[in-house]
Amino acid sequence: MITHRTLVAGGAGFLGSHLCDLLIERGDHVVCVDDCSTGRIENIEHLVDHDRFRFIHHDVVQPGLDELVAGVWAGEHPTRVMHMASPASPPEYLRRPIDTLEVGSVGTKRLLDLALVAGARFFLASTSEVYGDPLVHPQPETYWGNVNPIGERSVYDESKRYAEAITMAYHREFDLDIRIVRIFNTYGPRMQADDGRVVTNFVNQALRGDPLTVFGDGKQTRSFCYVDDEVRGLLALMEGPVTGPVNIGNPGEFTMIEFAELVLELTGSPSVIEHRPLPSDDPKVRQPDITIARDVLGWEPTIELRDGLTRTIDWFRAKSAERVA
Ligand code: NAD
Ligand code: UDP
């Protein structure tokens, strides 16, 4: 088997750190590049002394990454470049709209150039948000989406749509070897407790005994994929035969009210449900069509929401016990 030198931009984040674990496990040499704007060293602490792992603190929007990487691998180029870097939670990208647009545009171009010079395969983490507030349900990869180009959320959606477009342009113009994944809502250990996403909000509100804040009437739906399933899917795509875009997510679909009730049941919390205003352009439904992932990559999720959520709740419980101790 080939040993890869894999660069993971955004590797100190939630998904990126789980990906680094899997890459180290399969024998890769890994360089994790992160500016720690939303990620944390704590996520990769267990890897920093590993002889096949290196961390570079760097903002991928800025120049100079190629020299830094050459320094780590003594002039050897990466064979895989994985672009996971971007704010990902709605409160975070709404707080830093320009940074979000820049990491999807300038950051993506810099990493594409690095992959091109290296002769590496380039992997882009795109999102189900490219479908916006979808008019087709569930969403297949052939659906072009329904995005408000000037709405608040557009800084994230359009940044990822641009990232997909420039990645395809490098593929068509320079024959760059690429993979594009459209990731649907993923959850699990190492999410930031205060990132404002529904999973972290509900779990931590329930553990504190605070009201669960359901936005709008709570009838909007999401489909949640456990992180272990997700990163396995990302690697299946990276080493698989199709460029994508390919949806990787769990098709199990829940309303936010159903999700809140499940969190209350699994935590045994006495919290109540309170309704808050719905944010603008909040997608009403979301569910991946994973036919391509199943048929071409042989991938499908195996962890039910109930099981994954139990593991996630246990992890957040252990974290808050650590803080108290
Ligand atoms: P995250 O915020 O935990 O991870 C993103 C990482 O990128 C962080 O460590 C952050 O510090 C880093 N980063 C951001 N801007 C950077 C920059 N300019 N230079 C270097 N590093 C930078 O988020 P996540 O949930 O792990 O998401 C990872 C990727 O997957 C993102 O690209 C996100 O858009 C995509 N995605 C995630 C989900 C999900 O449900 N988690 C869904 C769809 C798409
Ligand atoms: N949401 C909610 N309460 C919260 C946070 C989010 O009801 O405290 C809703 C949000 O309006 C959306 C869904 O949960 O409909 C998923 O939100 P999240 O921010 O996790 O991710 P999104 O899929 O919108 O990017």
Would you state the pLDDT for residue 322? 80
Average pLDDT, integer, range 299-308? 98
Catalytic residues: 156
Task: Give domain limits for the chain.
Answer: 5-184+227-249+288-302
Q: Report the CATH fold assignment for 5-184+227-249+288-302.
A: Rossmann fold (3.40.50)
Average pLDDT, integer, range 218-244? 98
Ligand nearest to the CA of 88: 1
Task: Check pocket membership of 15 for ligand 2, CB cut-off 6 A.
Answer: no
Task: Check pocket membership of 185 for ligand 2, CB cut-off 6 A.
Answer: yes
Nearest atom (ligand 1) to Cα of 10: 7
Average pLDDT, integer, range 68-94? 93
Q: Output the 3-class SS for the chain.
A: CCCCEEEEECCCCHHHHHHHHHHHHCCCEEEEEECCCCCCHHHCHHHCCCCCEEEEECCCCCCCHHHHHHHHCCCCCCCEEEECCCCCCHHHHHHCHHHHHHHHHHHHHHHHHHHHHHCCEEEEEEEHHHHECCCCCCECCCCCCECCCCCCCHHHHHHHHHHHHHHHHHHHHHCCCEEEEEECCEECCCCCCCCCCHHHHHHHHHHHCCCEEEECCCCCEEECEEHHHHHHHHHHHHHCCCCCCEEECCCCEEEHHHHHHHHHHHHCCCCCEEEECCCCCCCCCCCECCHHHHHHHCCCCCCCHHHHHHHHHHHHHHHHHHHHC
Would you state the pLDDT for residue 231? 98
Least confident of 76-80, 95-99, 321-325: 321-325
pLDDT band at 323 (very low <50, low <70, confident <90, very high): confident
pLDDT tens digit sequence for 16-42: 999 999 999 999 999 999 999 999 999
